[in-house]
A and B are shown apart, each in its own frame.
Chain A
């Protein structure tokens, strides 16, 4: 599971923005929202006749595989970096 998401934004004539997001504390803070999202996903699975366990398992695999992903985009003096650890 991802532990830390780093977001860096550099824009010309503005101060660079660097944000480190600890995932686990954020999930704990947003726990009620997470529960609602999971419930909505379960309802969607039932409506579209998709195996709930299979779908939740696949979604968990995607979340678990996120660490190591890195997206770095630069254009001129503007740069955006998103790194998941």
Chain B
């Protein structure tokens, strides 16, 4: 229950407004909330389609550039594929990662968490500037 809806019900319980007025206020509240929710859904689902990685660097005096565009749908599909990796393979991967100094427990990483991460990538922009290189990761 939203705060505004609770306020309306409190006013009704306190006798400050009638039941009809409360109904009208709740209806108006729902009308206001519906377009806002729809526009948020459109932004998060419709417009952003690609993850871009752009690297501009100078390597031994020569300019180098990496420009990668990956569909977000591909990331989602990859998450689903990664969810099929058998547990015994994850245990071996954990051991190798631990030996390499990266103590991450991959068995604790759930596909739902990864999907949520991909869903919210559209709000992420990473920019790294150094004298030799510039890295930009963003969605478009």
The minimal Cβ–Cβ distance linking B18 to chain A, given in whole angstroms, is 55
Partner of B64, one of A61, A64, A70, A76: A76
A76 to B65, CA, bound (A): 9
Tell me whether chain A's interface is mostly helix, strand or loop, or mixed: mixed
Q: Are B59 and A49 in contact (CB under 8 A)?
A: no
Q: How many A-B residue pairs have CB under 8 A?
A: 66
Q: Are A74 and B84 in contact (CB under 8 A)?
A: no
B residues within 8 Å of A by Cβ?
49-50, 59, 62-71, 73-74, 76-78, 80-81, 83-84, 86, 89
| 22 A–B contacts from the bound complex (CB under 8 Å) | A48-B86, A48-B89, A50-B84, A55-B81, A58-B81, A58-B83, A59-B81, A61-B77, A62-B77, A62-B78, A64-B73, A68-B49, A68-B50, A70-B69, A72-B66, A72-B68, A73-B65, A73-B66, A74-B63, A75-B62, A76-B62, A76-B64
A residues within 8 Å of B by Cβ?
48-51, 54-55, 58-59, 61-62, 64-76
- Known contacts A65-B76, A75-B65, A76-B62, then 18 further A-B pairs from the complex at CB < 8 Å, ordered by chain A residue: A50-B84, A58-B77, A58-B84, A62-B74, A62-B78, A64-B73, A64-B77, A65-B73, A65-B74, A68-B50, A69-B70, A69-B74, A70-B68, A71-B68, A72-B67, A73-B64, A73-B66, A74-B63
Nearest first, the 10 closest Cβ-Cβ pairs linking A and B are A76-B62, A61-B77, A65-B74, A65-B73, A72-B67, A75-B64, A58-B81, A70-B69, A62-B77, A68-B71
